[in-house]
């Protein structure tokens, strides 16, 4: 088992007010109305409308508010889209924005809520590619309602925006105040999510849980949250993909996604999400697909390098063994080989076995479930060097060279 240092310190960012549970969507009209009388609803393509939930929501809101504006977002949001929506709804400004949809819809709503009080393009504030200005943090009150279980955007302080192409990017608009004021998570909203999106979203959430649990910035608090969510993922991920009507499995994965957002905001992420940024900028590939398809190869490479470091003399050996123990514990949970009450099981002599088990179960999921390879989105061998050069792995448990990052990418071409 990983030994705690005698003393430790950490910081923990704020979380939204959270309403979680089957049927919680029925509370949304009153929760929206409690924030103000002018409502901007941002939704995805058609699923909310087809389910009848959009009609029910707007019908109930009509008796409670004075104005309802509706916008639909498809695909990952671009700076241009955010600028357009903010300008369109700046006068009169809504008193509350509610985004109901997948991670891209939530990111769009989050960014629009932050930009409406401004008079500038979102490019003034976008990390890495913008003008470097600091946002004041002022925003329109924002409610996030996820209809997929993946990004955890309902609990984070950043909105990810993309511009796809040769000079593309995938960057965050970020401020502590951008954490949604309310996250309403109803697993019933996810039941109609198709298997391919469920698989990609679920692997995204699992990659975030593993990434934060193995992060160099992890704390006892993020570890405890991530471990329990990994346990639920091990029980329910495969069922959520193959038995979409299984509400228990859907609830477990909705919880896992929510917690993944909370912990990533406090511990950071590693190589998988480091690669997702350039991949999503240069190619029109869904974020969940990137994270899901790369996760097994990334975990395998990390474990390979940690095993080498653990056998060498020096200060990194003990730290590497501790990371391997954490991977092993995650392996017991995702492979469902940990018994109830054994979250702190003694891994003496079992680390190698359960690290291998973790690698095996991740590969098994990617092989059996509808998760695309990178090559299906036009990514080729000639692109790998450029992607690897721009891949960050700031909080990864082991340093990776550009050549090693290319190996991870190549494994899923």
Residue ranges per structural domain of the chain: 17-190, 195-410
- Whether domain 17-190 has CATH 3.40.50.2000: the reply is no
| CB-CB contact of 111 with 126 (8 Å) | no
Q: In whole angstroms, what is the distance from residue 187 CA to residue 98 CA? A: 18
pLDDT for position 348: 63
Q: What was the pLDDT predicted at 340?
A: 46
Rg, C-alpha atoms of the chain: 21
Query: Residue 195 — φ and ψ, nearest 5°?
Result: -60, -40
Residues of the chain whose pLDDT is less than 70?
Answer: 1-6, 338-348
Cis peptide before 103 (omega within 30 of 0): no
Fold of domain 195-410:
Dehydroquinate synthase-like, alpha domain (1.20.1090)
User: How many residues would you count in the chain?
Assistant: 413
In 3D, which of 46, 21, 57, 157 has the Cα closest to residue 102? 46
- Smallest CA-to-CA distance from 291 within 103, 156, 128 is with 103
Cα 302 to the chain's mean position, in Å?
A: 20
Q: What is the pLDDT of residues 184-236, one digit of tens each?
A: 999 999 998 999 999 999 999 999 999 999 999 999 999 999 999 999 999 99
Tracing tokens 């929206």 back to the chain, one arrives at 32
| Helix, strand, coil % over all residues of the chain, rounded to 5 | 55, 10, 35
pLDDT of residue 347: 62
- Per the listing, tokens 């089957």 go with 22
């Amino acid at each position: 088992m990983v030994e705690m240092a005698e003393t430790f310190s950490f910081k923990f960012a704020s979380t939204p007010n959270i309403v979680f549970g089957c049927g919680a969507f029925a509370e949304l009209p009153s929760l929206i109305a409690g924030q103000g009388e002018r409502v901007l609803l941002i939704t995805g393509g058609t699923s909310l409308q087809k389910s009848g939930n959009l009609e029910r929501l707007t019908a109930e809101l009509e008796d409670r508010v004075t104005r309802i504006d509706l916008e639909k977002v498809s695909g990952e949001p671009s700076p241009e889209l955010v600028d357009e929506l903010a300008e369109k709804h700046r006068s009169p400004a809504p008193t509350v924005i509610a985004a109901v949809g997948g991670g891209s819809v939530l990111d769009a709503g989050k960014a629009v809520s932050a930009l409406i009080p401004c008079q500038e393009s979102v490019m003034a504030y976008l990390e890495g590619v913008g003008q470097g200005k600091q946002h004041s943090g002022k925003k329109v009150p924002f409610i996030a309602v996820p209809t997929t279980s993946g990004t955890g955007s309902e609990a984070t302080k950043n909105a990810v925006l993309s511009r796809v192409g040769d000079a593309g990017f995938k960057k965050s608009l970020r401020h502590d105040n951008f954490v949604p004021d309310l996250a309403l998570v109803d697993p019933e909203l996810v039941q109609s999510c198709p298997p391919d999106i469920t698989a990609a979203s679920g692997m995204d959430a699992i990659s975030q849980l593993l990434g934060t649990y193995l992060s160099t910035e992890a704390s006892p608090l993020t570890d405890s949250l991530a471990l329990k969510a990994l346990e639920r993922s091990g029980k329910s991920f495969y069922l959520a993909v193959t038995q979409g009507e299984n509400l228990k499995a859907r609830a477990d994965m909705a919880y896992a996604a929510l917690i993944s957002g909370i912990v990533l905001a406090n511990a950071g992420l590693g190589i998988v999400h480091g690669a997702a940024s350039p991949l999503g900028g240069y190619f029109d590939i869904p974020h969940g697909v990137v994270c899901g398809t790369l996760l097994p190869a990334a975990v395998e490479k990390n474990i390979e390098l940690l095993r080498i470091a653990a056998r060498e003399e020096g200060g990194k050996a003990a730290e590497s063994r501790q990371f391997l123990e954490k991977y092993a514990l995650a392996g017991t949970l995702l492979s469902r080989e940990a018994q109830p009450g054994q979250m702190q099981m003694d891994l003496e002599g079992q680390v190698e076995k359960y690290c291998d088990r973790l690698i095996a179960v991740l590969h098994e999921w990617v092989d059996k479930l509808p998760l695309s390879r990178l090559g299906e989105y036009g990514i080729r061998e000639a692109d790998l060097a450029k992607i690897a050069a721009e891949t960050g792995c700031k909080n990864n448990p082991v340093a990776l060279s550009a050549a090693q990052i290319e190996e991870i990418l190549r494994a899923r071409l």
